[in-house]
Amino acid sequence: MSAVIVVVAGLLVAGAFLFLLDSGDTADPGGPVRIGLAESIRDEVDEGGPFFVADPTGGERAFWIAEEDGELVALAVEVPGREGCNAKYRGRNETFVDCDGDPIETTELARYRLSVSTGEDEGALLVDLDALLPPPQPAPTT
């Protein structure tokens, strides 16, 4: 009887170990990732300004969560057309600057598509790391 209990316990431990190894704990290399609750993030940006988010998948797709025209945006860190030049936020001046310290507008930065989840994780802010959009085009002047 003792041998049966030891074997069953061993199988349970082995099963739990295999479950943990295959539970999806590794980050998805792309696609939408949950950043937090959209309402809380908006409050954080309203109170403290834009904030930096390292690539949640461990890659090189870091971004800034900021507000632009009253909407949250996920701004790519790298300045378009300037490989290795990352935008930084200067809270003291409430502005973004490029790697030379020159001011840049949020509309000069590419952005990742944002959405707010519905369903089981309702209200979560999702950033789609596979959807890098170019900076918005300026409105034509007439």
90 is a domain residue: yes
pTM of the model: 0.73
pLDDT digits over 34-89, tens only?
Answer: 999 999 999 999 999 999 999 988 888 999 999 999 999 999 999 999 999 999 99
Into how many domains does the chain fold? 1
Which residue bears the tokens 């034509």? 140
4 is a domain residue: no
CATH number of the domain residue 107 falls in: 2.102.10
71 is a domain residue: yes
User: The domain containing residue 98 runs over which residues?
Assistant: 31-133
| Number of C-beta neighbours around residue 6 at 10 A | 10
- Longest CA–CA span in the chain (Å) reads 89
142 is a domain residue: no
